[in-house]
Amino acid sequence: DQQVKQNSPSLSVQEGRISILNCDYTNSMFDYFLWYKKYPAEGPTFLISISSIKDKNEDGRFTVFLNKSAKHLSLHIVPSQPGDSAVYFCAASDEGGSEKLVFGKGMKLTVNP
Amino acid sequence: DSGVTQTPKHLITATGQRVTLRCSPRSGDLSVYWYQQSLDQGLQFLIQYYNGEERAKGNILERFSAQQFPDLHSELNLSSLELGDSALYFCASSVAGGGGRYGYTFGSGTRLTVV
């Protein structure tokens, strides 16, 4: 049972445009949502998070939106840069229960110059 | 350098063998998590230790075991290896109770190939 789903395996955008990465979840007990970025031959690195009591969190070029009623979150990258090309993982946790993060399968983003 | 150290980076071994993967968490972090990433799969949670004690268990096979030592480093032991155990194994660490709020810090992983 996959509790965190990233249904699109890849996305390609032009430099300077917006990248929108989507994620759906099924567990209503999740109270924190995170995005990680992973380059080849490296471990995932934390990018941005959002609490379930918020609907938006912004950090520079990265904004995460949360729609609890739809159990959906998205990561917006504006403007996209070639260095953003990586695999992005959506993750969620239930802090009141287990602290472990549940990850989606990842999405490969390619930003073309 | 994330501060989480995993050794070895690469490991090639034969079916039926046993291997040990090692992880040193970031300074000050008490929790250690082990994840497995197989081909076309996301990061699958295996097990968590907090300050030396097992805290949570995921889809970890009975052939696999882990422990966290007094100096907080952790080892993941994989035995009776099968071809399907070939994967990237990541260790991550976090401050106590901060898995969701602050995220984990991951190591660069150990790539295990079983032949």
- Percentages helix, strand, coil for chain A (3-state, rounded to 5) are 5, 55, 45
In one letter, which amino acid is A6? Answer: Q
Nearest residue to B90 via CA among B50, B55, B43, B56? B43
A45/B contact by beta carbon, under 8 A: yes
Q: What is the pLDDT of residues B19-37, one digit of tens each?
A: 999 999 999 899 999 999 9
Nearest residue to B85 via CA among B58, B53, B61? B61
Residue B102 exposed, middle or buried by CB count within 10 Å (0-12, 13-18, 19+):
middle
Query: End-to-end CA distance of chain B, in Å?
Result: 30
pLDDT at A10: 95
Q: Give the pLDDT mean for B89-103.
A: 79
Residues of B with CB under 8 A from a CB of A: 2, 4, 31, 33, 35, 40-45, 48, 55-56, 58, 90, 92, 94, 97-109
A21/B contact by beta carbon, under 8 A: no
In one letter, which amino acid is B44? Answer: Q
Q: What is the pLDDT of residues B65-85, one digit of tens each?
A: 999 999 999 999 999 999 999
The answer to whether B89 touches B41, Cβ cutoff 8 Å, is no
pLDDT in tens, chain A (113 residues): 689 999 999 999 999 999 999 999 999 989 899 999 999 989 999 999 999 999 999 999 999 999 999 999 999 999 999 999 999 999 998 766 666 889 999 999 999 99
Distance from CA of A42 to the nearest CA of B (A): 5
pLDDT at B2: 80
pLDDT at A93: 87
pLDDT at A81: 98
Of B33, B98, B109, the CB nearest to A100: B33
Q: Which of B34-43, B56-65, B83-92 has the lowest mean pLDDT?
A: B34-43
Q: Tokens for A18?
A: 């917006």
Task: Please give the residue of chain A at the shortest CA–CA distance from B96.
Answer: A99
pLDDT at B25: 96
Q: Tokens for B75?
A: 């080892």
pLDDT at B61: 94
